Every structure is written in C-alpha cells, then in structure tokens.
A and B are shown apart, each in its own frame.
Chain A
Amino acid sequence: MTERPITRRAALIRALEISAVPAFIAAGCRGRGKEGAAAGRQPLQVALVPCPDYDPERLLEAIRSGWASTRPPEIRGRRVLVKPNMVDVSADRPIHTDPRLVEALILHLVDLGASEIVLAEGTSHNRDSEWLFRRSGYEALAKRTGILLVDLNYDDLRPVKNVNPRATLLRELYLPENVLSADVLISLPKMKTHKLAGITLSLKNMFGVVPGMKYGWPKNTLHWNGIPMSICEINGTVKSHYSIVDGVVGMEGHGPIMGSARTAAVLVMGANALAVDATAARVMGVDPGRVDYLAMAHRIKLGSLNPEDIAVSGEKVERARKDFVLDPEYAYLRAPNV
C-alpha cells in the first residue's frame, strides 16, 4: 500500500489519537468492530440501492427499499433532524445533496409518523445561508413540505463535553440546540472526493453541525485540530442515527466544490455511518482503510469498515463500483481491482 507522507502535524495528531483510544473505548462508545462480528453479533446493515436518476417516485421507492433492510431508527412521534451537505451551491457542479432526494426522504419520514422534521445545515465557506438555501432549492422544499429550515451556524448553542476525555482541541464542543434536541439525526451527504480529506461522505458531513459563529468559516478550528481527528471527535460526540449517501450523481476530481459530476446511480444507506461510508468508498473505487479518518474512526470503534462486519443488501459493491477520479494527492486511496 502506498502510504501518504507523514507531516509534523499529522505525526502529532497520530500520537494524540493513539493515547486517546483506550479512554474512548472505556467511555462506552457505540459501534462494533471485527471482534463483535467474530463474537457472533449481527453485522452492520448497509443497503446499496440502485437509483438511476432523481425521479421523485424512484427516489421514494429506493429510500423505502433501503430503509426496510437496514435496521433504521424509530421515527414515529420523534423529532427528526435531516442534515444534507451544502458546502456551496453551483449551477454547473453537483456540490450539494440534491433537493429531490431530501424531499423524498422528508415524505418518507412523514409517512413514518415523525412528529417534527427539521432541515438543517451550517455552511462551511460561504456564510450567506439565505442565498445558499434559496439557490440549493432547500428553501422552496421546506416551504412546500411545511418543515423548519435552520441555519446551524447561527442557532442557539450549548456546550457539550466530548465523550473522549483525551480529545484534543474539542474537549468541549459547542453545538446547536436544534442538533442537541433532535431525537433522530439523519446525515444526508453527497458522494464526493475531497481535496483535504480524500473523500467526503456521512462522517465528514457532520462538520456542518459545528456552528460557524463559534468556530468560524471555514470551520477553521477543525482544520487546525486535524481533519481526521475533528471528524472522529465530532462523530464521537454527536450521534447520527442514519445515513443516506446521495450517489445518484456524485462529484469526482477536485471535490468537494470544483470537481466534476460523476454518476454512480446508487443510494448507500444504513444506521452505522462508518459502515455506510466504507461501502460508499468502495463504490467510488477507494479502499476505506487508506482514508485517514475512516481508518481512525474504525480504530476508535465508531463502527467498522471491514467487509466481514458489514452485510450489504441490494446491489453488489463490485457491480456498483465506479472508479471516481481522485485528486492526484490522494491517488494512493485507490482500491485494487478485484
């Protein structure tokens, strides 16, 4: 395997991570790794659902199909927060989670009896959320479906202790009330390459719950903390209960903003974000074990990326695989052809 060169900062983060692991496990973090599967526990369920386009009926059918096969969270009577990915919006490039997918999920959640649905995002670069929500189509769909649309960057905040007592910069994380008060959080990322992380999926999508008014734009504290460590610390503190990766049309090349459209024609769904991300990575032709933050998330038991721990229903990964063009710096992520 081609290893990424270790920088001084990466070495420091790695050292901190190693020291953090035992305490993190002791804190009773959720997830189950290889040992769990080996011990006969149920594997992590992931649905790989073919979906060739954004036709509303097909999307709804795909969501229903994947949902039913993946041990989803209880929705009836619950307050559900849907977190799409909207790092920016472009008329030419598929940067944000397609609003037709968001709307199909909302209709599904209504059918399941959600008491309240909130669509919420905290944009990373451009803090002009009014403009972004309008351009993305999220404002219109929120009005159409009667749900609340929230800018997490300016929501009321509350400090939350990081479950990892050896966390680095984020020992105490200020989080939006709308995130903390949600009974169920659904991460709805876009399947994209990422210029600083290799790929971005469900776990990386959680950067958007971190409020800009406290941590700045582009969430700079997280970058100084190290992206892999920040992703793991956020996901160790905020539980996402379900993930649906928008891989109908993803982004390859210089993502997450300047890349090109790439059709993968799938939704990747499941209750364990790491297992979903590992499966989505394989669809992208990426070895998840080579992605820093996925490997770290696996080591600290946020779930598992091992194929033997993940039961994939629906389409076979090998058949769905579309090798996304990777940023040259991340060429080493490419999974060997089977």
Chain B
Amino acid sequence: MGPIKTMSRYSALQALDFIKARRNPDGGWGYRPGGRSLVEPTALCLLALHSGGEGTAAAPGLDFLKTCVAETGSVGIAPTEREGSWMAYGALLAFHELGAAAEERRLTDWVLNFEDASGRFSPEELSSIAALFHYDASIRGWSWTPGMTAWVEPTALFVIALVRTGTPSTQERIRSGVSLILDRKVRSGGWNFGNPFSKSFELEATLMSTALALAALGAAGYPGDRPAVGQGFAFLGRALAGDVSTASLAWSLFALRAFPAGASIVPETAARLSGLQAENGGFRDNLFETALATLALEHPDALLPRRERPR
C-alpha cells in the first residue's frame, strides 16, 4: 500500500518550500528559522524532503548530519556536542532513508549498545524506586543522555528508529524497550514521561508520551488487542477531544496508524492537523514540527515500518 495522502499536493509542496527556504548556511536546520542547526530538526527535515521527492535539496543536510557523528559512531545534538544523545534516533532514520550506510551501521551499533542506568541501581535502590514510583528500574531502555535513567519517550523514539531501519522487533534491546514502555504505563491508561506513580499518587498520562508509546508498540508489532493498547487509545481519544499541540497531534497520527484500533479517527485527526498549517506552509513557524506534521500526514512510512495500515 502506498502512502496515505492527507494533504493537498499544493499544501505538501508549500510545507517543503517552507523547509527549503529556511535551511541554515551549514546545511542543517534549527527548531525555529534562523536557530542553530541541530540533529533532530535537521533529520526530520531531511526525511520530509527526501520522502517528498526533494532528494537533491536534502543533500547538504545529510552532509551536516554526518559532521555530527563522533568517533564512536554516536550522534549528539549538534556537531560541537558529540556526546551521544536521544536525537540520534532522528539521525538513524535519516541515514537509513538517505542511504548513508556506513553511518547508519555505526550508529545502529551505538544505539544497540547504549547504556542507561538500569544496570547501576543497587537492589536497595531498585526496591526504593519500585515502592515510590511503581516501576521496575532494572528494565533496560534508553535515556535522554547515556548513563541516566531510561524514560518512556527516548525509549519509544529509539524503538521506532531501530525497527524502521531494519532491526528485528525480536531483538533483545527492542523487546526490553517494549517491556519498559509497558512497565511504565499509568494504571488508569496511557503514559507520561515515565513515572506512573509518585509516592501515594498516580501521576497523570499525557498525550505526547502516550502517542509515542503507542507508536513504538505498534512499530514493534505488539498485539493491538492487549489491555495496555486499549487503555492507551482510550486515553488518546479523550485527550484528542480537547486542546492539543501540533507535535502531539502529529505523534498521535502515527500512533493511530500503528494499530487497526486507531483507524476510525485517522481522517478527522489528519484533517485537524492539516488545518494547523499556516499560509506560509509551515506549522507554528517551527521546522521540526513542520517536518513532523508533513511526515505524519503524507509519509508515515518514513518512521513506521511499511505494512498494511488503516486509511
């Protein structure tokens, strides 16, 4: 099945023009026009351009992204900050999509060997965390920066990137990442940043974390008939009924497309996201959000594995 077209051709071209016109002289993009080039917005802009048939326009951005690769193969947030970071998920997707095979291979190795803090907790600390926050800190996932506590969103982003770039969902790190996401679920449904509880209080789920968690579970082939998914979609539906942000709406669209259960509200969610596009072609004047929205609407296959998805 080909990509699901939910933007008009004119709107899609406008979004790509918005991105192309705001490229920095170094070839990359910042979050806002004129902002310093960073890995996440650059990677997503590259994916949007490439997926939209603007491969030539993407070339300088790929060169920029390659300058962000450290000797270890890791990718930080910018060329000058090479300590590996969560933004590597975007670089991995872009290297794969744009055919930078050597960089993709080295970065995949780095991501698969990424160390969070799960192995550093003492038994007492694990017990304390379980009692206070109601999660199992021994489950290995991904943190925002190496060596720290793993959280839902970076784990979801790396699961999505690894599966999309060809790592089997049966691979141990991906299975562990899925376990972490499931373990951090808020009891009443959905996900937040990764603390389902705090002392005697359940913490509330949030839309962006829930959407990312569901998209990752779907990418990893987690069964859609399990309670965690159903409860997640129930929260997602409630949240989407209210005020939402551009980025959360875009991630929600990926989540909805990752499971058959989301099919029924894909059209209205896509229409809502499309309606946020400004006259200049951008979304909120933000390069990352413009690229993410364009991908969610036009090229979901750039992030999620290709398979039959609901219209």
Chain A residues packing against B (C-beta within 8 Å): 125-131, 134-135, 154, 156-157, 174, 195, 212-218, 220-221, 223-224, 254, 257-258, 327
Q: Are A257 and B30 in contact (CB under 8 A)?
A: no
Chain B residue numbers with a CB within 8 Å of A257 are 198, 203
Q: Are B243 and A216 in contact (CB under 8 A)?
A: no
A220-B148 CB under 8 A given contacts A126-B193, A126-B208, A254-B201: yes
Q: A126-B208, A128-B207, A254-B198 are in contact. List 13 more A-B contacts (CB 8 A).
A: A126-B193, A130-B284, A131-B248, A157-B36, A213-B40, A213-B77, A215-B145, A216-B144, A217-B144, A217-B151, A218-B193, A220-B151, A224-B149
Chain B residue numbers with a CB within 8 Å of A327 are 199
Q: Which listed residue, B35, B143, B208, B284, touches A216 by the CB 8 Å rule? A: B143
The CA-CA distance from A221 to B144 in the complex, in Å, is: 9
Chain B residue numbers with a CB within 8 Å of A156 are 30, 35-36
Chain A residue numbers with a CB within 8 Å of B32 are 154
Chain B residue numbers with a CB within 8 Å of A254 are 198-201
Does B67 count as interface, using CB distance less than 8 angstroms?
Answer: no
Q: 16 A-B residue contacts at CB 8 Å?
A: A129-B245, A130-B245, A130-B284, A131-B207, A131-B244, A131-B248, A135-B243, A157-B81, A195-B198, A212-B144, A213-B38, A213-B87, A214-B81, A216-B86, A220-B151, A258-B198
Chain B residue numbers with a CB within 8 Å of A157 are 36, 81
Contact with A along B266-296 (1 / 0, CB 8 A): 0000000000000000001000000000000
Does B44 count as interface, using CB distance less than 8 angstroms?
Answer: no
- Count the B residues whose beta carbon is within 8 Å of the partner chain — how many? 40
Q: Are B248 and A128 in contact (CB under 8 A)?
A: yes
The CA-CA distance from A220 to B144 in the complex, in Å, is: 8
Contact residues of B between 126 and 168, Cβ < 8 Å to A? 143-145, 148-149, 151, 153-154
Smallest CB separation, A231 vs chain B (Å): 18
Q: Are A195 and B199 in contact (CB under 8 A)?
A: yes
Does B31 count as interface, using CB distance less than 8 angstroms?
Answer: yes
Chain A residue numbers with a CB within 8 Å of B245 are 128-131, 134
Does B206 count as interface, using CB distance less than 8 angstroms?
Answer: yes
Chain A residue numbers with a CB within 8 Å of B108 are none
Q: Are B36 and A258 in contact (CB under 8 A)?
A: no
Smallest CB separation, B213 vs chain A (Å): 14
